[in-house]
Amino acid sequence: MTAAPDDAAPRPHWAVRMNRRNRSVFFALLAGVIGVHLFEHQAPTSAWLALALQFALYPQLVYWRALRHAQPREAEVQNMMLDGFCFGLWSAGLGFPLWISFILFAGACVNLTVFMGLRGGLMETAVMAAGGLLGTLLLGPVTWKPGTSLLVSFLCMAVLTGFLVVFARDGFLRARDQYESRAQTLRQLEEIRLLQSRLQDLALRDPLTGLFNRRHLDEALAAALSAAQRSGQPLALLMIDIDHFKQINDTHGHPAGDAMLQALATLMQDQVRPDDLACRVGGEEFVLVLRNTSAEAAQAIAQRLRLGFEGLAVAHGGAMLQATLSCGIACFAQHGRDARALTAAADAALYAAKVAGRNRVVVAPPVGPQDAPAAAYFA
């Protein structure tokens, strides 16, 4: 019976997998090189047995150990140090032939340096030297035999080149994977940033008209007033209301009312400057915040907006809908110096426009000290 996926053994650590492959291939190639050298020197059977144990059985034993170790990477580091120690023994046993000793040393040092940096290379040098010293002591006087045949020297060059190429390829593949992973992470972060920006924008905008909502108005108006106070420039607040809007909803239905709201929002966006702020604060009520705008300039803008809306004919359900608007204007600082007072003054001016017959623009009267309680009343 096939085991369920959940019962499958966990995948070995990447270092264990990589070193099993590299060690198995490199040791097999080393066995060939050393085997040729032993054959040329008519080595005894014990040397051939040691060759088989070291370069055929040993890689599987250390893989088995790392596979079952609680810390696989730490086990692999220990295995690589053991590799170097054994290589030192072999160098001593063979009489320290230069080419063979060099490829044993280079292979061991490169491997551990990849894992631990320069410190790993120094550690591998130390353990290989210890192995060579122990081999010298165990084997008695070692005859130094630095030379190798042309064939063995060529094989050493080929094995070392292949080993370095494999390691370079592994490094390239891991760097490429890390680059692609980092690029994917950056793309995901950018998508998250854009999504957060869109969500934040949605949280600050009215879904029907696309204008900013009251939440954003509260923050933006306070910031605009602070800037006006610092610079001494004027600021105008326009409160706008569609006249008899309830009658439009009752007669033609709420979709018709929505169409009128959207038409006014579009007109406002067309009329105001990029630095101005257009908001829908609820129902048929809208607010315009006009930076660096005097009462006279704000009144002219409001009149253009009123006349433009009055001349609109909104097609809906086979009917052409028309409506008018009323607008109240208050300006910093003659009508108030903070958001509460300014809003109250604009709201009072809008109320005055409604009482006077609608479809008109009214500018709030200047607020003096005696009028401060009245302004607070409308907040």
Catalytic residues: 284
- How far apart are alpha carbons 65 and 45 in whole angstroms? 28
- How far apart are alpha carbons 151 and 370 in whole angstroms? 110
Bridge partner list, 79: none
Question: Comparing C-alpha atoms, which of 94, 85, 93 is closest to residue 138?
Answer: 93
With beta carbons less than 8 A apart as the criterion, state whether 18 and 133 touch: no
Residue spans of alpha helices (H) in the chain: 14-40, 45-52, 58-68, 72-93, 98-116, 118-138, 150-203, 214-231, 245-252, 254-271, 295-310, 339-355, 372-377
Residue 273: helix, strand or coil by DSSP? coil
Q: For the beta carbon of residue 135, count every other beta carbon within 10 angstroms.
A: 21
With beta carbons less than 8 A apart as the criterion, state whether 238 and 304 touch: no
Phi, psi of 211 (to 5 degrees): -80, 165
- How far apart are alpha carbons 112 and 121 in whole angstroms? 6
Max CA separation in the chain (angstroms): 121
With beta carbons less than 8 A apart as the criterion, state whether 99 and 37 touch: no
